[in-house]
Copies of this chain bind each other. A is one copy, B any other.
């Protein structure tokens, strides 16, 4: 049930080098805006600069870093505007995913989602926000994977990488009352999927994402620099 997506190694990806560097960047080990010298990464991963450069170029393509020619590679922090744009996309893609899953009506996914929802309610009651954030993450991913549309999964993955989801989800979860509302919305989505109502599922999911995005974009940790 864990991230067994993308088990396939990219060509020549020395033991998943791309993934490791991506985690380094996403993990916030580097302050956003900081430079990430190729030589440092090369030494860090004990390879030459060549494969490092290839990986960095991919990360640039993914929008995670910015490579300023002849200057260096910088960790890219999405602007507020980009976050809004990404949430609009998220709403659309997850809506599609919910719709497709509802149409398929796959029992396998449904039981996973039901179980997830139960655990979420538990975490909600005990106010275990960490567990809750993790469960939300799994809930959404399960639905996206359940769409059985690999291209959708790929695009969603790119999207989520750029959103640096973890922090934002935590923000959302910390809003008073949001946690309970979120759970209700999840249940609504699951209901619609169980009723095999693609349109309703899409609508419910979009409502949910929209709501959570509004919370993610307000108050806690203002950080209005962008």
Contact = CB atoms under 8 A, between A and B. Distances in A.
B60 A57 contact: no
Interface string A74-101: 0000000010011011011101100010
Interface residues of A, number: 35
Contacts of A61: 10, 58, 61-62
Contacts of A222: none
A20 to B, nearest CB: 16
A45 to B, nearest CB: 17
Contacts of A95: 92
Count copies of this chain in the complex. Answer: 2
A8 to B, nearest CB: 11
A15 to B, nearest CB: 12
A10 B58 contact: no
Nearest to A152: B89
B149 A11 contact: no
A50 interface: yes
Nearest to A91: B96
Contacts of A96: 88-89, 91-92
B53 A86 contact: no
A150 B92 CA distance: 15
Given A11-B60, A89-B96, A89-B152, 16 more contacts: A10-B57, A11-B57, A12-B69, A54-B57, A82-B151, A85-B150, A85-B151, A88-B100, A88-B149, A88-B151, A89-B93, A89-B149, A89-B151, A92-B92, A92-B96, A155-B159
